[in-house]
Amino acid sequence: MKRILITLLAVFSTTLIFSQTIKPSDKIVLATGQKITVQSNISLEASLSPGMDLTSTSATENALEVKNRSDKNYTISSTTTKLKVDMNMMGQATNYDSEKKEVPGTDIEKALAEKLNKPVDIVIDNTSGTAITEMKTDKKNDEDDGDPLGNMLSMFADNSDDAVVTSAFELVPRGKNVGDTWSDSAISKEIKTIRTYTLKSITGTEALIQLDALTNALNKIELQGMEIEFKSETKTTGEIITDVSTGLVKKKTTESNITGSFQLMGQEMPISAKATSTITYK
């Protein structure tokens, strides 16, 4: 059971103001072959009753490349090129650094290594920056059964790849002035997110946006023959610097506070966590 809890938490671990009306682009503006480097640093502190704590820091680098474009969409390839994770759970340390070229030892280290240098194509809507969901081929059951950790990580793999790409773009609606707000939402069977944006300032083509978001999630997964139900509420605040002429984000910082619980073997266990992230796009 301890191993399951560790696995769950490891995965859980993924101015100047001008009074003017800006004239931003209505679409994301990219060139075929354009490359973007995404560097992200994330820290996590999680607490699982009774007395189980997790601390984790990670540094990731992704290479994005615009593969194709159409009147409505861009196809962008995302490849994880570097990954460093330092995690401690109840005194048990996991340290992984892709640049050290060491052979992964634990299941978690092997799962992290599997993410490297594997391009994933994401199609985004060029008027919103959101990913366009497509049907994907299911893995064979015997492969899933033989790798429960990989099966769990696969629940988050698509979301992770989508997030790396879609978070690189933020369009400001036309006609918005400093102090104005707008909102959007993302709703699926398992997750509901409502985001509110406030335009804080404009300097040249750079806009500073305040982000406030609320996410509620309910997931049911199967791990080692047991069904686990995970519920969470995440409150996120942050700031985004975006180029209004292209929709390309330059920097994003966020702080998230997560509360929730999961049911395992008939017991409901509370969990709380705080995550901070800094992501730059070049």
How far is residue 238 from each of residues 34, 47, 122, 206, measured CA to CA in Å? 27, 23, 25, 16
Mean pLDDT of 67-76: 94
For the domain made up of 2-14+16-281, give the CATH fold: Lipovitellin-phosvitin complex; beta-sheet shell regions (2.30.230)
- CB proximity list for 77: less than 8 A, separation 6 or greater: 64, 65, 67, 119, 120, 121, 122
Selected residue with higher pLDDT from 125 and 225: 125
Q: How confident is the model at residue 5 (pLDDT cuts 50, 70, 90)?
A: low
Mean pLDDT of 171-200: 92
> What's the pLDDT at 224?
62
Range from 18-22, 97-101, 118-122 carrying the lowest mean pLDDT: 18-22
Residue 202 confidence (pLDDT) above 90:
yes
Q: How confident is the model at residue 243 (pLDDT cuts 50, 70, 90)?
A: very high
Whether the CB-CB separation of 233 and 214 falls below 8 Å is answered with yes
> What's the pLDDT at 4?
53
Mean pLDDT of 152-179: 74
Q: How confident is the model at residue 18 (pLDDT cuts 50, 70, 90)?
A: very low
Mean pLDDT across the chain = 80
Residue 143 confidence (pLDDT) above 50:
no
Cβ-defined contacts of 3-6 (< 8 Å, 24+): 4/223, 4/224, 4/226, 4/228, 4/264, 5/48, 5/52, 5/264, 6/89, 6/90, 6/92, 6/108
What percent of the chain clears pLDDT 90, i.e. is strictly above it? 44
pTM of the model: 0.80
Mean pLDDT of 217-236: 79
- For the packed helices 2-12 and 148-166, what is the interaxial angle rounded to 10 degrees? 10
> What's the pLDDT at 235?
94
